[in-house]
Structure 1
Amino acid sequence: GVWEPSSVSSSEMQVDTHSENHFQLEDQTKKLHKDMKKSTEADLAMSKAAVKISVDLLSNPLCEQDQALLDSMTALDTAMRRMDAFNQEKVNQIQKTVIDPLKKYSSVFPSLNMAVKRREQALQDYKRLQSKVEKYEEKEKTGPMVVKLHQAREELRPVKEDFEAKNKQLLEEMPKFYSSRIDYFQPSFEALIRAQVVYFTEMHKIFSELTEQIDQARLTDPERERENEARLNELRALSIVADD
């Protein structure tokens, strides 16, 4: 007969292993794409919120009455706007070098999944017709049965060839596609790291300059806390806020 159970079951297992790898890769790619989008959206929301705070502080009437406070809030506002500009540049870079390539890579999976489905359908057709051939082969070789067997074998031949062609293509191409993921994604991940390094290097400069401009008193955080607490205690001592 034409049926070769060991070779087909072996290639079934191989394709199943490759398919499992591909389904995991597709899932991970989609998750990463979604997470990167959420991350960049959160980044932009953060710097926009920081600018809004500095604008609100700058427009506070207190700044009109105190030049030192006005100078500090102006310095803060400038720093926040610079941060926002660099943040937008970072997000644009990540969009081009990471998010867009992830989306393009994801777009390949539907056709790959379709090829796996077509191969699976061809395998089912092959098994069904081979089972028919085997059934006729087991029967007594009467004239009509020989004719049926011949017809069944003729019907099986193109189906077998179709399955083998589809199977061979997947066994050759799936490992190539899977192994290509490293070469495809490595530049993206390197670009992501570079974008973050450039951004945080700039942030270090911006906030160092801001510290120089506003931190004249050079108080430590615990000293600031004690000073604030002392002032708060003075306020609590006022009769209008005293507890009944």
Structure 2
Amino acid sequence: RQKTYRTLFCLIHRLEDQTKKLHKDMKKSTEADLAMSKAAVKISVDLLSNPLCEQDQAFLEAMSALDTAMKRMDSFNQEKVRLSPKFDIVLVYLIVEFIFLFLFTSSFVKGKILNMAVKRREQALQDYKRLQSKVEKYEEKDKTGPVMVKLHQAKEELRPVKEDFEAKNKQLLDEMPKFYQSRIDYFQPSFEALIRAQVVYFTEMYKIFNDLTEQIDQAGMTDDQRQKETEAKLSELRSLSIVADD
């Protein structure tokens, strides 16, 4: 049973390590989205301060539209970060709770932290081993009257400690497999929630950039025509002597 306990304990700790890593990666992803949108806002602000905006009304209007779009994106990302801790829609806040809490209805387990239960079990085991060693020491001595009295006292002292350890050990052996198996039931809706949140995010990003495209695109031009026009302008720039290859 000790081997079974250790196996379960190792499985849960491995799950804990994987969960912490996933939590860290998800947090980095959220922070990267926010950093990207802030960088985009800075770019649009820098473009608006370009002297060309004073000389070309069309360029000014395009850059103003870009600035508005980037600020919309940044505002949405900030709102996403602000709301993430409050709603069960972002995986990063769901998974980290799972590893610390038992999720069952048992009065022993409900709301308790796994590590606390493990520590209690380990403390009970140490007490049990200490008293068991004391009993064995008296059993090895000559069976004199005083020794037999002390042996009896040691056994009486050992009995409730042994029962306490066995009870704690049994509870963990009963609950730990359920806890480990429940990871799918818990993670599955969490990942589904993450996907739904991503759908909301990218739908909003599509709206923002679609609105921007409608504002800055030249009407009636296909993507192929835009590409050819851009290449033609780049060719003109490359033909200038100041950018010619040595």
Asked whether the two chains share a fold, i.e. TM above 0.5, the reply is yes
Report 1:140-151 matches (<5 A): 140-151=142-153
Shift of 1:198: 1.5
Report 1:71-82 matches (<5 A): 71-82=61-72
By percentage of residues, which structure has more helix? 1
Partner of 2:231: 226
Greater mean alpha carbon deviation, residues 93-102 or residues 76-85: 93-102
Helix, strand or coil at the partner of 2:182: helix
- CA change 1:102–1:232 in 2 (3 A) is same
Q: Contact 1:90 / 1:196 at 8 angstroms: preserved in 2?
A: no
Q: Which has the higher contact order (CA 8 A, sep 6+)?
A: 1
- RMSD of the alignment, in Å? 2.9
CA distance in 2, matches of 1:196, 1:93: 14
| Among 32, 35, 43, the residue aligned to 1:45 | 35
Structure 1: runs of 5+ lacking an equivalent: 1-10
Shift of 1:93: 4.5
Query: Which deviations, in whole Å up to 9, do the C-alpha atoms of 1:204-242 show, x marking residues without a partner?
Result: 23323333332325454763663354233233x14xx78
- CA change 1:94–1:224 in 2 (3 A) is farther
Q: Contact 2:100 / 2:114 at 8 angstroms: preserved in 1?
A: no
Structure 2: runs of 5+ lacking an equivalent: 103-111
2:200 paired with 1:195: no
CA distance in 1, matches of 2:245, 2:209: 41
Amino acid of the structure 2 residue aligned with 1:41: E
CA distance in 2, matches of 1:33, 1:243: 50
Report 1:47-62 matches (<5 A): 47-62=37-52
Partner of 2:107: none
Amino acid of the structure 2 residue aligned with 1:53: I
Query: Which deviations, in whole Å up to 9, do the C-alpha atoms of 1:86-110 show, x marking residues without a partner?
Result: 3334334544323333444455499
CA distance in 1, matches of 2:128, 2:245: 88
2:8 paired with 1:18: yes
Q: Contact 2:131 / 2:158 at 8 angstroms: preserved in 1?
A: yes
CA distance in 1, matches of 2:16, 2:52: 55
Give the fraction of aligned pairs with identical amino acids, expressed as a percent: 72
Q: Contact 1:54 / 1:77 at 8 angstroms: preserved in 2?
A: yes
